[in-house]
Structure 1
């Protein structure tokens, strides 16, 4: 949960947000609803309609926020994705709800995959209209304000949100769709156990009873959060990291078939899937299997893409058009990007907890390219690195690895116990200088951020 906290159109008037009206309950006098796919039930998006009231204060807040964000970019202090929104929000505390009025907004949350899935959802929504997004990963309220104020006329938005901040969002307005990807241990010294995150997410969903939730049916922790919600679309793609889902989130009983049709005696069970990632593609609720071909690597991104297709379909996007659009996406805010660092092409991979390290190591072990691992333990990473002992570094046996970062020595000790040959470098620059051509670099959050800031397009 390490989103960065760092983002035009004219505004005539904005006022208190009302959110989307819940659907009218059907009665016996209503004609029967046609059995058609859900993406055909949504009409074309209307342009956002500004509400009235607070015009001067809102306009001043937006103007000040844009000026500060622009200065931040020009002075190369950051992307402006946080500071502009933070100033605007301080001047107009109700600005987020005002900016959300009239838009169809998808909020994406979960422990891993938020930034990539947010980019996929944004691309998917653009098959139907303009969509704005917090592409830099500024995933708290100020980042959301910064993203929404970049284009006041955009009818769609795809916004990444930190798990513990979703309840703050739904207290302000009800998104059209909430995407809930997965839950696993992450920065326990800052955030706490998964149950803490579950309680916060459950509060968020209770505050948005009319919001459609697109959720992971293979993660018992996610199912426990969503089980009582009225409108859930379930995604199935399988799960490789099971260590945080071996006990029922409701009663604590052991779950013996986590990678299958698990069911607990208390009644919590894996739901039937609406969208399923298959060996050949993506099986939809209409019974049709569509080809799922991506430039983004790994099975984990096939799952992320399934969430994007499902979320966009709920807002009227054609799944075939979405799949065509997202097929060419190669990176998201630097994730999976091939960049130029110290005169050599490097592929950057972000891994920040045991679950994400499992997926990134899977990508790295598919070839014999040089490998650099970088681990820091700064505030945005979490200071505790005991999770290194939960990562299956044994898959790297037989390779020589360079390690670096603030906690490079801790990582080297872990690799030695895993039987992996490694060398310690004082800096990332030294590590790159000592490795062969076109290495993979797997780094946790601040190490990844620092490398990306120094990089250039190859």
Structure 2
């Protein structure tokens, strides 16, 4: 819960000032927003700064493999109906980036914070959140991330006994198992398209049975918990049985699921579902995602997909053939250097689309597309790829650093 609102100590003020100075130097040098280096400097001077900065806030933490940046933005928009919000809107989601974000929120009432999955338990200990939203868990950054069940176990142990109200996706068995150690859980039927990381029971290792939209373990009895909120088509079904329409500018089923979870979180803070959902409509893009940008005479729609679950959801968004598709994959530190996940993605969904491939690991992707039996063209850069397409719309799908490269190149 929100703690006291005592003024910051001299040490904490010095840490905040030094962090902001370091961030400004980083920005001036053209090295990005500076939020991470600023936070690192601040935490070096005051290791307890994150807890101090969150002391006057009612905090929501949002964590997942996919969708946490968008959900953070949707919750922040909903809670602005009740008061000022501070949020790490650009996705710097480790303690340093979170510290930088909160350092700019002295006048805020609410903190809506995206948290990297591996840091969730530690950040929760520091900031004493009022609510925690858990969306999904799937394979990601295979070279350095824990196996998904191990990650779920860290959540389960780290959040056990938390005072926060946990809003959790009942349709993801890993999330359900992680959240089931928490005293107060609001279960949301948010759906789960990608199921390949959740065929075995996280509690005992037995095979999960999946009749229809349900799931359960025949060995230990662990099963899908009963839900009080649900995504039903284009509506959010609230606990009182009222169905509220979801009218988003953001595309796709996954974003409707994010909106359903966001409405459940907002209700904890007294924001009515109708008010929350209406405010979410104002969100057109999130950190460049879903933006349509004109470049070299074409309209490029920018879509981010970082792992197999993300690519599966993204394929459902793209227009049908003959709309050209540009794919870009890197394997830098922020992406994870292991590209074996490319073989888990069903690229045959792109059959019939003209496909261009760019990025640091374009040849890895080309081999995968060749095996899938797809026609494609390997290009040197985005300019060559765009110029090879006819005038009109191009769907652009990129993983994390490839997405950032594209935004810099095309001026978005």
Structure 2 length-normalised TM: 0.95
In 1, the alpha carbon distance for the partners of 2:320 and 2:254 equals: 15
- Shift of residue 417, structure 1, vs aligned partner: 1.8
Residue 241 to residue 158, structure 1, CA distance change in 2 (3 Å): same
Q: Secondary structure at the match of 2:74?
A: helix
Return the alpha-carbon distance in structure 2 between the equivalents of residues 407 and 259 of structure 1: 38
Q: Distance in 2 between matches of 1:198 and 1:347?
A: 34
2:325–2:395: 8 Å Cα contact kept in structure 1?
Answer: yes
1:337-395: CA deviation from partner (whole Å, max 9, x where unpaired): 11244554311101111100001111124463211001111111111111111111111
Q: Find out whether 1:238 has 2:191 as its counterpart.
A: yes
Which ranges in structure 1 are unaligned for 5 or more consecutive residues? 1-18, 21-47
3-state SS of paired residue (1:439): strand
1:149 matched to 2:103: yes
Moved more, 367-376 or 444-453: 367-376
**C-alpha distance in structure 2 between counterparts of 1:391 and 1:182, whole Å:** 18
Quick one: which of 353, 357, 366 aligns to 1:403? Answer: 357
Q: Secondary structure at the match of 1:421?
A: coil
Query: C-alpha separation between the residues in 2 aligned to 1:453 and 1:204?
Result: 38
What pairs with 1:22-421 in structure 2 (closer than 5 Å)? 49-51=4-6, 55-206=9-160, 209-257=162-210, 259-265=212-218, 266-342=220-296, 344-366=298-320, 368-421=322-375
Deviation of 1:103 after TM superposition, in Å, equals: 0.8
CA contact 2:156–2:178 (8 Å) conserved in 1: yes
Contact 1:234 / 1:272 at 8 angstroms: preserved in 2? yes
1:49 CA displacement: 4.6
Mark the CA change 1:366 to 1:213 in structure 2 (over 3 Å): closer, same or farther.
Answer: farther
8 Å contact kept, 1:49–1:102: yes
> Scaled by the length of structure 1, what TM-score is found?
0.86
Q: Could you give the per-residue CA deviations for residues 31-63 of structure 1, whole angstroms, max 9, x where no partner exists?
A: xxxxxxxxxxxxxxxxx85326x7111111111
Counterpart contact for 1:397–1:418, Cα < 8 Å: no
Residue 258 of structure 1 and its aligned partner are, at CA, apart by 6.3
State the partner residue of 1:452.
407
For residues 429 and 307 of structure 1, do their structure 2 counterparts lie closer, same or farther at Cα, with a shift above 3 Å needed?
A: same
Q: Is the 8 A contact 2:159 2:181 kept in 1?
A: no
Offset, 1:335: 1.1
Gaps of 5+ in 2: none
Report deviation, 1:201: 1.1
Count of residue pairs brought into register by the alignment: 410
- Give 1:455 shift: 3.2
Post-superposition Cα deviations, 1:19-42, rounded to whole Å, max 9, x if no partner, equal 55xxxxxxxxxxxxxxxxxxxxxx
CA distance in 2, matches of 1:398, 1:278: 31
Deviations 1:244-282 (A, max 9, x none): 111111111111216522121312110111111112411
| SS of structure 1 residue aligned to 2:35 | coil
Cα drift, residue 75 of structure 1 = 3.8
**How far, CA to CA, are the matches of 1:131 and 1:321 in structure 2?**
16
Report the alpha carbon displacement of residue 440 of structure 1 after superposing the two structures with TM: 1.0
Structure-2 separation of matches of 1:400 and 1:70: 43
Please list the CA deviations of residues 425-453 of structure 1 after superposition, one character each: whole Å capped at 9, or x if unmatched: 12222212222332111001110111122
User: Tell me, what secondary structure is at the counterpart of 1:363?
Assistant: coil
Secondary structure of 1:58's counterpart equals helix
Please give the alpha-carbon distance, in whole angstroms, between the structure 1 residues aligned to 2:289 and 2:39: 24
